[in-house]
Structure 1
């Protein structure tokens, strides 16, 4: 990318970032996300937890719809909100439903990135991602009793989405959002399937949300760029 195009890209990023930071809906979403982090991230299931978690991402989807964003972006955020609703409710069936919603959301983001012209990803980041995905499929997935196949399928989907993001050029917010999303899901898998209940699991619950919501916000901001 030439120096002029790079400078223009930075101006666009700053413009979108400032417009979101002054958007009342975004500020409400951010406030709900902060409330969830401070009050509910490591708490048990409850309807207040479900409401704050789901609305904080649903409002991002509303912002995308209101702005006339690409359909895959709005769809991905809507599916993320649905996944948050399901994961905040008790039971394995709801967990599986939430994982399916997020997998569908990642497929929507994959379509978004391909539509934006994603090419082959850089070799070293792609290899690192694939090695991490294989390690998760072989080490973490077998610990997901009764859910090994769905977890491995989810790993494949999020890996494909992130590989497409790595192939984008001049889209740092989208790339960052995808990578932070992967980090959030990795920590969630550790919390859910590896860590025993206790201080480490509680810390992981906070970290999951501290990574996940900013990842969705970054994808929203990157997807709204002209």
Structure 2
């Protein structure tokens, strides 16, 4: 955590939270958001981390770039990037020996997933199928994380990632503009970047 690249990434993440989280699209916003995760990928590559970890972080940075740009096409591209990143994390977790997840945490996760599939996804006008597909992918990744032996950082990182995406879905498809939506925008980032950092830390020091 004292790695200079990590400190720069963390500073960019704080800058994004304070300056850009609820701001309109702009190239400075895109640059800060993307670099804050791309630097985590650089740390993983430099440390010789499993390729699936580095790839997951790189795809996350790509997803951040796309989601920070306006337009439906960029949104779909960003969602695809994150879905691919979750598949990379799934491969990472399986490679680390993920087994069957504990019953109660798995059931709790599936309840959240069910709410997202049945209540939130239908509100994504014209994008119901890709949104539901994304939900299935992140659910599979998180179930694998829950089945990891002795890897609390990875488990917590995956769970926080799900929480971030759930709040993001509420922001995009449920909440009306106003204070609630603005608060949700800050909460999404306050959950998302630490989730990526936890997954990085867990992948390097499981």
Which of 176, 184, 198 aligns to 1:196? It is: 176
CA distance in 2, matches of 1:225, 1:200: 37
2:150 is the counterpart of 1:170: yes
The alignment's TM-score, normalised by the length of structure 1, stands at 0.90
CA distance in 1, matches of 2:153, 2:204: 10
Matches within 5 A, 1:91-130: 91-130=71-110
Matches within 5 A, 1:142-157: 142-157=122-137
- What corresponds to 1:67 in structure 2? 47
- What corresponds to 2:59 in structure 1? 79
- Displacement of 1:25 in angstroms is 0.3
- What corresponds to 1:184 in structure 2? 164
Residue by residue, what CA displacement relative to the aligned partner does 1:131-160 show, whole Å, maximum 9, x if unpaired? Answer: 211111000000000100000000000000
Say which is worse superposed, 51-60 or 129-138, in terms of deviation: 129-138
Which of 36, 39, 43 aligns to 1:56? It is: 36
- What corresponds to 1:160 in structure 2? 140
User: 1:128 aligns to what SS in structure 2?
Assistant: helix
- What corresponds to 2:193 in structure 1? 213
CA RMSD in angstroms, aligned pairs only: 0.6
CA distance in 2, matches of 1:153, 1:168: 24
CA distance in 1, matches of 2:72, 2:179: 23
- What corresponds to 1:89 in structure 2? 69
CA distance in 1, matches of 2:186, 2:112: 22
Which consecutive unaligned segments of at least 5 residues does structure 2 have?
Answer: none
CA distance in 2, matches of 1:50, 1:61: 17
CA distance in 2, matches of 1:136, 1:83: 20
CA distance in 2, matches of 1:40, 1:141: 26
Q: Which aligned runs of 4 or more in structure 1 are off by greater than 6 angstroms?
A: none
The alignment's TM-score, normalised by the length of structure 2, stands at 0.99
CA distance in 1, matches of 2:134, 2:114: 12
CA distance in 1, matches of 2:11, 2:116: 33
